[in-house]
Amino acid sequence: QVQLVESGGGVVQPGGSLRLSCAASGFTFSSCGMHWVRQAPGKGLEWVTFIQSTGGNDHSADSVKGRFTISRDISKNTLYLQMNSLRAEDTAVYYCVKDKHGDFSLDYWGQGTLVTVSS
């Protein structure tokens, strides 16, 4: 079955960097677009960034553009999120999510990893 397992969350100081990983299994990772979605404490879901199955350019929300970079390693079936210049408002649970091909919905979600930006 499809599994998405995030790792790499933790506490980081403002201005710092962190890299999240998402190990994917149970589907053809190289054929699927992938997203990161986050939820700040007490807030709603926020789409963060997307990478197409072919890789190439990433696409990001204005709130993280220029600071966050999504990438993928097909040989390791792993999705990454490199987060730089972190701010307090980036504190959230980050979910790795599979894009459902053909209709742009989100059909499988990981359990999430918590990132806390605090001094």
Partner 1 sequence: QSALTQPRSVSGSPGQSVTISCTGTSSDVGGYKYISWYQHHPGKAPKLMIYGVSNRPSGVPDRFSGSKSGNTASLTISGLQAEDEADYYCYSYAGSYTWVFGGGTKLTVL
**Which residues bind to partner 1, rule: CB under 8 A?**
35, 37, 44-47, 50, 52, 59-63, 95, 100, 103-107, 109-112
70: β partners? 81
- Residue closer to partner 1 by CB (options 84, 109) is 109
- Least distance between partner 1 and beta carbon 46 (Å): 6
Question: Tokens for 116?
Answer: 């806390």
- Least distance between partner 1 and beta carbon 87 (Å): 17
- Residue closer to partner 1 by CB (options 18, 70) is 70
